[in-house]
Structure 1
Amino acid sequence: MKLSYWEIKNWFSNVDFTVVGSGIVGLHCAINLRERFPKAKILVLEQGILPQGASTKNAGFACFGSLSEIIDDLKTHSEEEVLQLVQKRWEGLQLLRKRLGDDVLDFKPHGGYELFLKEDETFYNDCVQKLPFINEILKPVFKNDVFSKEIDRFDFKNIQEYVIFNPFEGQIDTGNMMQALLKQAIAHDILLLNHMQVTSFVDGIDAVDICVGDVSFKSGKLLFATNGFASQLTQNAVVPARAQVLITTPIPDLDIKGTFHLDKGYYYFRNIGNRILLGGGRNLDFEGETTTELNQTAPIQDRLETLLKEVILPNKTYAIEHRWSGIMGVGNHKKPIVTQLSQNVYCGVRMGGMGVAIGSIIGKELAALV
């Protein structure tokens, strides 16, 4: 593809900062760069029609981790590390709400709930026993108890009598969030180009040579915000993790409101109006779900449908209206990677499935490296 003089002049000449990835992290990074460098030329490149990873494909949970997920994290992270992770997620959510506003986000503070299946009684008892200890760990962040036992009032079936409630979590509208961020980026005179996949780059003394297919140009700095697509940058410290999701048709008299977790956060569901969105199940096939392919698989979809029928919506009439997948970035540690890779190249990746919560703050930290 031969670019015209105008295309070269306006989009690919004298570029100060190139951000790869137009998701939550990438756009927050670009906007923070604009606030620090008012006259800089900032270019954002996105390989998809819309953000390709999870930013427009997530479930819209304003969450920072269920009780069982935090207990599970303590097996591989220190108490201090877990506290820092939760604090960063909480601060990130506040930053997102402050930047866009609760009305734009359609933020609904319905709280978060964790369910435990009947057959998981030992696991459930272990979590209930550790609940006061986890509340104590999180006291420095929330100043109050986070988790409490409540009787299930939603008429779920085949679960333990009590659910774990968390009043600090809520729902957002993912589509509204990303539209608002894209509008802000454009209003900040940030150039956005889609269907642009970086095929190679070479860092020099004072600039980076970047190739996007047949197009090559120079940029003062190159910042990657590609999360689940960042394995080559990070020597596989980030691996892709596919999340499969489905949504039902509208259900008359649906009385479920909130964000809900099952099985250490591997399953999650919520209402969107009078529909149920349900996702997860990668723990059924970790190897198969370590992929950047945006399709679905029968075993995971079958399990999601079984949970809908036997646990979440027993005795309700509904149909599955739509299915999709998103790509998260995970690794052997939950701490995001925000680092300088070489003289003029940086990355902010590995959101660990918590991109809505920490994307804003990681974008800010990535911009601050420059």
Structure 2
Amino acid sequence: MNLSYWEIKTWLTDIDFTIVGSGIVGLNCALQLKQRFPKSKILILEKGILPQGASTKNAGFACFGSLSEIIDDLKKHSEKEVVELIKKRIKGLNMLRETLGDKAIDYQNLGGYELFLESDKALYDLCRNKQEEINRLLHPVFKSDVFTFKENNFGFKNIKPHYSFNPFEGQINTGKMMEALLCKVQSLGVKILNNITVQSFSEDSNTVNVKTNHFEINTKQLLIATNGFAQQLDIPKVKPARAQVLITKPINDLKIKGTFHLDEGYYYFRNIDNRILLGGGRHLDFKTEETVEFGQTEIIQNKLEELLKTTILPQTNFEIEHQWSGIMGVGKQKKTIVKQMSNHVFCGVRLGGMGIAIGSLVGRELADLA
């Protein structure tokens, strides 16, 4: 790139903090740093024309875990670890709402539901049997029972007649959230450069040299918030996980309202603008979906459409209007990776599909390290 003197001096010189990724984590990190160090020069490098990855691609669930997900987490984590994970998600959601305001993100507390396929008797029985145990575990956090079972009153088909209900779950408008966050950060003087891919970085005693696809810069500190793309910058223990999503055209008199989980959370859907947004299915082909490439596959898109026809909207005519995908960062553990990698390099990654819930908090934790 043939840069002018003005461009170099204004955007690319005397940088205190360079953040890689303008998603939820990166923007919240910048916000925290600017509030603490108002005179600092902060530059965010973003590979996409919009925040790439999952921050503008997700389903907008303000959730902390379904009943079956929490039961499954207890197989791999201690009770204390699971409770801490849930506390962190709640804290992150509250931080997001306080930072931007419920109106700006169109937050609606419509409750969350978990449906159980008619054929999945084992999972349904497990959740019924474990409900009271999980409620006792979470009672100190919510001061109330979290999960109850309700009768299917939305007209879903091929599921058990009762589903799990959680009154503490909400939904947001992902686009409005990211727009508000971008505006807030930029109003403080943080500079964001798009279509910039970080290729490598190296460090000396005082600075970090960052090489991109268009230029090289020096920065006092480098903070990596790329989540699903963390492996590309040699951050281990984070695997990309593509999530495919579709949305219908508007449906007259749509009665379905809330956030819904199905098949251990591998499918999820919600109402938005009189439409149904449905995503998931990566468990149908884990290996193929372990990718940083955006796109759709026939096996997953066909299954999503089948679920709409047979289970979610069995008696309603609908048309698919749009399909897309996002890239999450996952690993064997649900715990996020927020750490100092070297003297002047830090990272906040592996959000495990809970970016809305914990992204704000991880951004602050990343700023704390710096």
TM-score by length of 1: 0.99
- Checking the alignment, whether the CA contact within 8 Å between 2:339 and 2:366 is kept in structure 1 is yes
Match in the other structure for 1:202: 202
Give 3-state SS (helix, strand or coil) of 1:287's partner: helix
Q: Tell me how far 1:236 sits from its aligned partner.
A: 3.2
Q: Secondary structure at the match of 2:75?
A: coil
Give the equivalent residue in structure 2 for 1:151.
Answer: 151
Corresponding residue for residue 333 of structure 2: 333
Q: Whole-Å Cα distance in 1 between the matches of residues 247 and 213 of structure 2?
A: 36
1:275 aligns with 2:290: no
Q: Which residue of 2 aligns with 1:133?
A: 133
Structure 1: 5+ residue runs without aligned partners?
none
- Structure 2, unaligned runs of 5 or more: none
Cα deviation, residue 165, structure 1: 0.4
User: How much has 1:233 moved relative to structure 2?
Assistant: 4.2
Q: Distance in 2 between matches of 1:18 and 1:219?
A: 6
CA distance in 2, matches of 1:274, 1:6: 48
- 1:73-84 map, 5 Å: 73-84=73-84
In 1: Cα distance, 2:309 partner to 2:138 partner: 35
Q: Provide the C-alpha distance between the structure 1 equivalents of 2:217 and 2:248, rounded to a whole number of angstroms.
A: 46
1:91 aligns to what? 91
1:264 aligns with 2:264: yes
The offset of 1:234, in angstroms, is 5.4
Q: Tell me, what secondary structure is at the counterpart of 2:43? A: strand
Supply the AA of the counterpart residue of 2:57.
K
Runs of 4+ in 1 over 4 A off after TM superposition: 232-235
Q: 3-state DSSP class of the match of 1:269?
A: strand
CA distance in structure 2 between the aligned counterparts of 1:213 and 1:306, rounded to whole angstroms: 42
Superposed CA offset, 1:23-44 (max 9, x none): 0000000000001111000000
Across the two proteins, how many residue pairs are aligned to each other? 370
2:242 is the alignment partner of 1:245: no
Give the structure 2 partner of residue 367 of structure 1. 367
Q: 2 CA distance for matches of 1:73 and 1:15?
A: 41
1:35-62 per-position Cα deviation (integer Å, ceiling 9, x unaligned): 1111000000100001110000000000
Q: Secondary structure of 2:119's partner?
A: helix
Amino acid at match of 1:98: E
Q: Which SS does the other structure have where 2:160 is aligned?
A: coil
Counterpart code for 2:155: D
Cα distance in 2 between the residues matched to 1:360 and 1:316 = 38
Query: Once the two structures are aligned, what percentage of the paired residues are identical?
Result: 61
What is the aligned partner in structure 1 of residue 178 from structure 2? 178
Question: For residue 5 of structure 1, what is the aligned residue in structure 2?
Answer: 5
| Residue number in structure 1 paired with 2:216 | 216
| SS at structure 2 position matched to 1:219 | strand
Equivalent residue for 1:304? 304
Partner of 2:168: 168
Letter in 2 for 1:252: N
2:351 maps to: 351
Query: CA separation of 1:214/1:246 partners in 2, compared to 1, >3 Å: closer, same or farther?
Result: closer
Q: Which position in structure 2 is the counterpart of 1:66?
A: 66
Q: Residue 114 in 1 paired to residue 126 in 2? A: no
CA–CA distance in structure 1, aligned partners of residues 176 and 241 of structure 2: 24
